[in-house]
Structure 1
Amino acid sequence: MNANTIFQSVLFIVVLLAAAVPAARYLSAVMDGSSRVVRVFGPLERALYRIAGVDAGREMNWKQYAIATIAFNALGALFLYALLRLQGLLPGNPQQFGPMTVDGAFNTAVSFVTNTNWQDYTPEQTVSYLTQMLGLTVQNFLSAATGIIVVIALIRGFARHTAQTIGNFWVDLTRVTLYVLVPMSALVAALLMSQGVIQNMKAYQDVPALQASTYAAPKLDAQGNPVKDDKGNPVKDDKGNPVTVATPLTKQTLAMGPVASQEAIKMLGTNGGGFFNANSAHPYENPTPFANFVQIFAILIIPAALCLVFGRMIGDRRQGIAVLAAMTVAFTVAVGVEVSAEQAGNPTLAALHVDQSAGALQAGGNMEGKETRFGIAQTGIFTVATTAASCGAVDTMHDSLTPLGGLVPMLLMQLGEVVYGGVGSGLYGMLVFALLAVFVAGLMIGRTPEYVGKKIEAYEMKMVSIVVLLTPLLVLIGTSIAVLADAGKAGILNPGPHGFSEILYAFSSAANNNGSAFAGLTVGTPFYNWMTAIAMWFGRFGTIVPVLAIAGSLAAKKRIATTSGTLPTHGPLFVVLLLGTVLLVGALTYVPALALGPGVEHLMMWLGA
């Protein structure tokens, strides 16, 4: 790592942590109703409750909260599916895009409802403006709000005692959307538009090409169909290749659309689905280094702030700081490894005497698949942030990362997206690991484990086991089926260890609700659409339900006093224990698979195989 990389990394972390403090204060005030904003907009909020028939004063137990969560999101998926299938008949479609396929629409609906935003299609060639705004963007808000309110419910479980309820799903959802996500998205969208991110409803624009050229196109008849011989087969030349004609290219089509409004919540909600296929590498989504910095910041600000919200709501801010410290340490190490791996470059090119050193005029290292306006440092920070936070947005081609550079984002997902993690989901995932850590510590010293004043007993550990084990099962079983099934192997474009890495990455991304991909794998097929949709749905709601069960169980318990035998969970020792637990579970689960993919590929690259 050079001085520029270190400076950018330190600057980002300092800005993030400094901004997390006021953001946490605001979030806490919104959720307990003490914020001035809540009081000012109270009439609007109450009007929404009256229209929806919601009794805002009636709280729910964990089962009612879970049912409301799943039912609401299932209806959202159904609505989005219908919109994707019917978009060809609806307005707001200047390019006249037709309906998605059944499996493609199902996959996309599940993807956006689960906060994954896995995209097996090219958005600017598939999805209308109406679908982008009414379907995908709406789910970007609602899926993010769902994650936040689930962790708030879990925090209430820690904060309350001898209580049977953990909040009201509809009130929590409304407040997070109305007072947190909407205003923050408006601010981020304004910043992005100032940098050149487009926001319009124009049809796509044809402009003269910068340089006229030609390309080989199939020879067509008068009806625009490929020319065929007497037997009805495409005409071929003497070498057996289809007959083509040189076609001049004098213009190019520029995609338009309401990008900034979707880009803001895409990042703030750790959603990740791009308006364009190139995602945040596209100049209309992410035109400048400052816009790139804003997007990375937007990914992590809410997850970081929620850690401090945890401390404030349970009445011991040190607990939130400890969790945030553990996440920040892991994030910093990941950035260091990622940037170092990419800055080291490719030894194959070094053997050809290609200069890969960093200098005043070049970033150096492995610049394949990266934008020159961002360079190694910002690209590395973005790559770590988007996979640490279950966002999935990309400003580089992850498939072009070095083997170790690709291992870092893959491992961050496989650890459970708990290094900051998705909005809400990252913190409730890390708190589950905290319960596991104190349970292990309790076994070692022969005491009943406890965390922030609550005893951790058999029921909680059963739910913890479900959360910890479910996602790895989805990843490993899904990967196994894909490498065994002909339909799964048909999507591999890069045979060998990298092809295996692409499949492992795909299911790691889907089950952990990330959405990024090693794009060398062809996933727009019925096999991968159905398989990844199953992984996304159960990876999301199969963990949310046991988390809410933990919240309900903890809320009903009495608070116990701290004694001399209580394990301190707010100091450096617990931070190390927590990180060790996360890494140990991840290593025991995934090291064999990682060795077969990135591990073998790294050795092959450096040995010149």
Structure 2
Amino acid sequence: MFATLSIGVTLLLVLLLARPTGLYIAKAFQYETTRLDRWFGWIETPVLRLGGIRRDDQTWKQYALAVIVSSLVMILLVYLVFRTQAYLPLNPSHIANMEPTLAFNTAISFMTNTNLQHYSGESGLSYLSQMIAIVFLMFTGPAVGLSAAIALIRGLAGKPIGNFFIDLTRSITRIFLPVSFVMAIVFVALGVPQTLEPTVIAHTLSGEVQEIARGPVGSLLSIKQFGNNGGGFFGVNSAHPFENPGAVSNLLQIVLMMLLGTAIPFTYGKMVGNPKQGRVLFLSMTMLFIVLLGVSLSAENAGNPVLNAMGIQHEQGSMEGKEVRFGMVQSSFFSVVTTAFETGAVNTMHDTLTPLGGLVTISNMMLNTVFGSVGAGMMNVLMYVMIGVFLSGLMVGRTPEFLGKKIEGREMKLIAVTLLIQPMLILAPTAIALFAYPETISNPGFHGLTQALYEFTSSAANNGSGFEGLGDNTPFWNIATGIVMYLGRYFSVVTLLAVAGSLAAKKPVSETSGTFRTDNGLFAGVFLGTVLIVGALTFFPALVLGPVAEYLTLKP
């Protein structure tokens, strides 16, 4: 009862914070002079001047090129740090240089806001790598996604796209840095380590020697959750007591994961001049989230069928793979939040979830619209909004209109290509892995298919959590998931910025009595129907072969 009540408290807290946070984000990205310029201008102005950045608006092509080139430069710089960390300072545990394919995978993983880890956190990176590579990308990765989403919203509203470098700077200085700085102090106060001292050597009562890893964890933890990054300092992520000391830290981590995703719909409503549109999208996604959360909680509470001492089959709640400090309810709640908001942090082993519990987590990532990650989630939501508007227009025989602009062939071709890239990035590599590298999969049955499917789904959705049970630190998995993460992140950014540029250039059309409204309950139903139908047509066969088949085999 207490665990269930804590979920209600967490959701209420997020609900109270979402709207004011969303309005603050909208204000932070205004190019007109505001009070925020006085608070943050002292750091932003020198940075922009040093980079030679002016307040000139870019075209969508210039904006997209800036996103791609700057990201590639950051990937290269961080790759070099990983490959030379053994020769650099702040390496008290004498950790070796990363293997080339692993460094390739890790650099792309953190730049794309995925944070998939094919290494164990405390034993794979030096303190310097954690601070100047991992934490650096934990700020810039989500900042790139948020900037691209803001540019898309501006274009849909008929405004200039903006300037990527100004948006990137403001994302970091006005949003990510202040919250992360404060929350790092809070987490340290709750017991999270923040030190450059080396690993502690402890002598146990039985005479054994135990190495206790520690390091600058607090500063990583806050941006890990607030930026929807998810990569852990320790191998077991937020199941580790140093990375998640107790109930209060667990609650705060969940709130941080949910905050920006729930706030951006209100940012969208404010920036397009129709707050009701933002509320409709917020409520639609909230309904979908609650339904999926209910399925997960029900499945984990029922557990898997087992035989009692008399040989009679009954259901038992599943605690396998879950941290006893948090219990079944909070572990399941965390798994739904981290995949719905594409964070990827875990406080339980997702590989040990029940088949239906695992189905929920993988469905969250396949849909990638149950709020989704910072920025990129909202871009996917708006893509489905335009698909829903287009289909509705076809049904009534009118040229579809959205925010006063006609959606025509050029926009729909770009959206169709964007819609197709995700299943291609998930299903094709999964088939290759199952056919060519079955030895890397620990389970030969339906669960093994889900392990491979989950890995590529997590990569394409830029989530980063894993079903585990894979021998994934191999050249194939490192290179394949690296490519999937990169294309999964930047392909849709470019195509949707092209949509924004196309719509921004169009002349607005007047709203009439025949205009299909997108700010009421009817459109909420159209939006949800579009997401679920398109998602089912795309991924249902793969899910049937994986978690659904596994679930059916467990039934009497």
Q: 210, 214, 234: which one pairs with 1:256? A: 214
Instruction: Evaluate the alpha carbon distance shift between residue 329 and residue 35 of structure 1 in structure 2; reply closer, same or farther with a 3 A threshold.
Output: farther
Instruction: Evaluate the alpha carbon distance shift between residue 572 and residue 6 of structure 1 in structure 2; reply closer, same or farther with a 3 A threshold.
Output: farther
Aligned counterpart, 1:151: 149
Counterpart amino acid of 2:61?
K
Instruction: Give the Cα separation in 2 of the matches to 1:352 and 1:456.
Output: 65
Instruction: Give the Cα separation in 2 of the matches to 1:492 and 1:575.
Output: 41
- Is 1:585 the counterpart of 2:534? The answer is yes
Aligned counterparts, 1:299-314, within 5 A: 299-314=257-272
For residue 538 of structure 1, report the CA deviation from its aligned partner.
0.5
Instruction: Evaluate the alpha carbon distance shift between residue 121 and residue 351 of structure 1 in structure 2; reply closer, same or farther with a 3 A threshold.
Output: farther
- Is 1:444 the counterpart of 2:395? The answer is yes
Q: 186, 199, 202: which one pairs with 2:181? A: 186
For residue 350 of structure 1, report the CA deviation from its aligned partner.
5.2
For residue 41 of structure 1, report the CA deviation from its aligned partner.
2.6
For residue 197 of structure 1, report the CA deviation from its aligned partner.
1.1
- Is 1:140 the counterpart of 2:92? The answer is no
Secondary structure of the residue aligned to 1:284 is: coil
Instruction: Give the Cα separation in 2 of the matches to 1:579 and 1:333.
Output: 12
Deviations 1:459-480 (A, max 9, x none): 1111111221101111000101
Aligned counterpart, 1:433: 384
For residue 549 of structure 1, report the CA deviation from its aligned partner.
0.4
Instruction: Give the Cα separation in 1 of the matches to 2:478 and 2:312.
Output: 41
- Is 1:413 the counterpart of 2:365? The answer is yes
Q: Which has the larger Rg?
A: 1
Secondary structure of the residue aligned to 2:306 is: helix
Instruction: Evaluate the alpha carbon distance shift between residue 284 and residue 458 of structure 1 in structure 2; reply closer, same or farther with a 3 A threshold.
Output: same
Secondary structure of the residue aligned to 1:598 is: helix
Aligned counterpart, 1:198: 193
CA contact (8 A) 2:306 2:313 kept: no
For residue 258 of structure 1, report the CA deviation from its aligned partner.
0.5
For residue 187 of structure 1, report the CA deviation from its aligned partner.
1.9
Instruction: Evaluate the alpha carbon distance shift between residue 250 and residue 262 of structure 1 in structure 2; reply closer, same or farther with a 3 A threshold.
Output: same
Aligned counterpart, 2:232: 274
Aligned counterparts, 1:425-574, within 5 A: 425-485=376-436, 488-574=437-523
Q: 13, 20, 23: which one pairs with 1:22? A: 20
Instruction: Give the TM-score normalised by the residue count of structure 2.
Output: 0.97
Aligned counterpart, 1:601: 550
For residue 6 of structure 1, report the CA deviation from its aligned partner.
4.3
CA contact (8 A) 1:166 1:552 kept: yes
> What is the alpha-carbon root mean square deviation over aligned residues?
1.6
Instruction: Evaluate the alpha carbon distance shift between residue 445 and residue 42 of structure 1 in structure 2; reply closer, same or farther with a 3 A threshold.
Output: same
For residue 373 of structure 1, report the CA deviation from its aligned partner.
1.4
CA contact (8 A) 1:38 1:179 kept: no
For residue 351 of structure 1, report the CA deviation from its aligned partner.
7.0
Instruction: Give the Cα separation in 2 of the matches to 1:353 and 1:400.
Output: 24
Instruction: Give the Cα separation in 2 of the matches to 1:5 and 1:250.
Output: 37
Deviations 1:172-223 (A, max 9, x none): 00011011100011122122122211111110001122x52xxxxxxxxxxx
Instruction: Give the Cα separation in 1 of the matches to 2:503 and 2:460.
Output: 27
Instruction: Evaluate the alpha carbon distance shift between residue 520 and residue 448 of structure 1 in structure 2; reply closer, same or farther with a 3 A threshold.
Output: same
Counterpart amino acid of 1:324?
F
Q: Percent identity?
A: 44
- Is 1:395 the counterpart of 2:342? The answer is no
Aligned counterpart, 1:66: 64
Deviations 1:292-343 (A, max 9, x none): 1111110110111111000001110000111111111111111100111000
CA contact (8 A) 2:112 2:485 kept: yes
CA contact (8 A) 2:305 2:314 kept: no
Counterpart amino acid of 1:373?
R
Q: 109, 121, 127: which one pairs with 1:111? A: 109
CA contact (8 A) 1:204 1:255 kept: yes
Instruction: Evaluate the alpha carbon distance shift between residue 35 and residue 373 of structure 1 in structure 2; reply closer, same or farther with a 3 A threshold.
Output: farther
Aligned pairs, number? 555
- Is 1:38 the counterpart of 2:33? The answer is no
Instruction: Evaluate the alpha carbon distance shift between residue 331 and residue 353 of structure 1 in structure 2; reply closer, same or farther with a 3 A threshold.
Output: farther
Aligned counterpart, 1:217: none
Counterpart amino acid of 2:402?
Y
Secondary structure of the residue aligned to 1:490 is: helix
**Where does structure 2 lack aligned partners over 5 or more consecutive residues?**
none
Counterpart amino acid of 2:464?
G
Counterpart amino acid of 2:433?
A
Aligned counterpart, 1:221: none
CA contact (8 A) 2:203 2:209 kept: yes
Instruction: Give the TM-score normalised by the residue count of structure 1.
Output: 0.89
Aligned counterpart, 1:167: 162
Secondary structure of the residue aligned to 1:253 is: strand
For residue 11 of structure 1, report the CA deviation from its aligned partner.
2.3
For residue 251 of structure 1, report the CA deviation from its aligned partner.
2.1
Q: 524, 533, 537: which one pairs with 1:575? A: 524
Q: 129, 132, 136: which one pairs with 1:131? A: 129
